[in-house]
Amino acid sequence: MSVEALWTARFGDVSSPGTWENGGVVVLETGRIYGGDGGTYYIGTYEIDRGSFTGKFKSVTFDPRYRSAFGELGPEVDVVAVGTMEGDVMKGTLSSPAAPGLKIGFDLTKREELP
């Protein structure tokens, strides 16, 4: 199964752990991550190894009405995503070096193969 696709994302928030407060779209293509939502975009890289996913990306808030899922860390946050794949779903946690010890849940659902 190819991970190179358009995925929808759901992820938690520092203020409400265990919930799906946020979401957006993510494109995985040739080791690169692109995505965003109404106030934030994401760009970075990923690797897949035997069903395990590791992504490193920056999350940039471009709309001042939004805030990072990690809280008040500023408009640009480095993020590490670690998860596992099961079919068309990927689940795991997000963390940031700027917020040691904090982990936020995420899931991605594959929606469309890339053209």
Kindly report, residue by residue over 68-105, the tens digit of the pLDDT: 888 878 899 999 999 999 999 999 999 999 999 889 99
* Domain span at 57: 5-113
Residue 83 sits in a domain whose CATH number is 2.40.128.380
Find all residues with CB under 8 Å of 88, minimum gap 6, and list them: 1, 109, 110
Q: Is the pTM of this model over 0.85?
A: yes
Q: What would the pLDDT profile of 10-42 be if each residue is shown by its tens digit?
A: 988 776 666 677 889 999 999 999 999 999 999
Extended strands (E) in 12-115 = 22-29, 32-36, 40-49, 52-61, 76-86, 89-95, 104-113
Find all residues with CB under 8 Å of 101, minimum gap 6, and list them: none
Residue 61: closest CA among 70, 80, 74: 74
